[in-house]
């Protein structure tokens, strides 16, 4: 298993296989989870979900690599990567998404920066009103 940690990065926290934790988790640096977690996770930095991890959480991070199972929404400021052994069942919001062949993503995807088509709908409405007005004249 290959993790893309920069040489300056260190894992600053670790929940090992066999660990069960419930609650609200916030941290700085890089955290790796290989155990079971239920709750919410928040950081502006890097989260690694190991191959043995089962995470039921809404997650807001800078970056995340998923090698285990995640159930819940993921909101990443920079990147979401799902490896061949990774499983994500939930919605994703991120500017950069990578899914290695074999990885599973079951949910909706919103790439950050995508805007709803409200302005397009409004433009169409104005155009339709102009056409109706022209037909009357």
The per-residue pLDDT for range 76-124, each reduced to its tens digit, is 999 999 999 999 999 999 999 999 999 999 999 998 565 444 433 333 3
What residue ranges do the domains of the chain occupy? 11-136
pTM for the model = 0.75
Q: Please tell me whether residue 45 adopts helix, strand or coil conformation.
A: coil
CA distance 57 to 22: 10
- On whether the CB atoms of residues 81 and 101 are closer than 8 A, the answer is no
């Amino acid at each position: 298993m290959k993790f893309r940690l920069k040489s300056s990065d260190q894992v600053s926290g670790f929940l090992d296989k066999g660990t069960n934790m419930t609650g609200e988790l916030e941290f700085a640096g890089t955290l790796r989870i290989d155990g079971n977690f239920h709750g919410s996770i928040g950081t502006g930095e890097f989260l690694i979900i190991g191959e043995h991890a089962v995470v039921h959480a809404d997650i807001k991070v800078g970056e995340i690599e998923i090698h285990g199972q995640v159930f819940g929404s993921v909101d990443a400021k920079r990147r979401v990567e799902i490896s061949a052994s990774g499983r994500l069942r939930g919605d994703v919001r991120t500017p950069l998404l990578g899914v290695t062949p074999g990885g599973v993503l079951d949910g909706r995807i919103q790439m950050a920066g995508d805007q709803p088509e409200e302005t397009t709908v409004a433009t169409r409405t104005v155009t339709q009103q102009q056409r109706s007005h022209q037909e009357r004249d």
